[in-house]
Structure 1
């Protein structure tokens, strides 16, 4: 027979299960955001996961303290060194992704043979200065 005590225990277990299911979905959203961010910056996300570091109060863009989840992850640029990063989420909304300082190459465009100096172009095309 179902007593009030048994019903209470079932409700607590159902609530805990729902919270775990919801948390898993939020972690998956955080992982997807981190994958997109790393791909955009041409970084490699290591281990293909994010791990919950803490749940706590964090200030949002308006300066209000809100309950947030902070996940940690690791990435690499060269494949030799691991660098830490964090993603902060308010519910399903990503607030920020922070990356530790890492080495990167400054990519310069290749020198094209058809580059014209601006001064030269002005001299050739400025008819009113003569």
Structure 2
């Protein structure tokens, strides 16, 4: 059994696609962990425990260079009644920011001593 150039090309393509899928999965997991922690800090409830890739875009990084940016969408609530969409921005595998739209705020109940 001998391998020709077509076989080598096909194997290479499969390996590259698998590597890109694996990297994309790791980036999504980092976005999920970061988003979950962000929601805890902001005292909002992160719903469905998931982030979904909404789009890929070319956006400028902090140095002005255009980079591929993954924008993940998630939902959160403050009151338990309304669902709000939020976005997590990831460039080069690093979370750049999480955005929450204006939403209803309910202060925590006062403690009685």
TM-score scaled by structure 1?
A: 0.78
Larger fraction in strand: 2
Matched residue, 1:94:
95
Matched, 1:60 2:61: yes
1:48-96 CA distances to partner (integer Å, 9 max, x unpaired)? 0000111120122233321111111111111111100000011221111
Matched residue, 2:25:
24
The structure showing larger relative contact order (alpha-carbon pairs under 8 Å, at least 6 residues apart) is 2
The answer for unaligned runs of 5 or more in structure 1 is 113-130
| C-alpha RMSD over aligned residues | 1.9
Moved over 3 A (4+): 106-110
1:90-123 CA distances to partner (integer Å, 9 max, x unpaired)? 122111111111100345977x9xxxxxxxxxxx
Aligned residues: 112
TM-score scaled by structure 2?
A: 0.89
The answer for unaligned runs of 5 or more in structure 2 is none
Alpha-carbon distance in 2 for matches of 1:68, 1:12: 24
Of structures 1 and 2, the larger Rg is shown by: 1
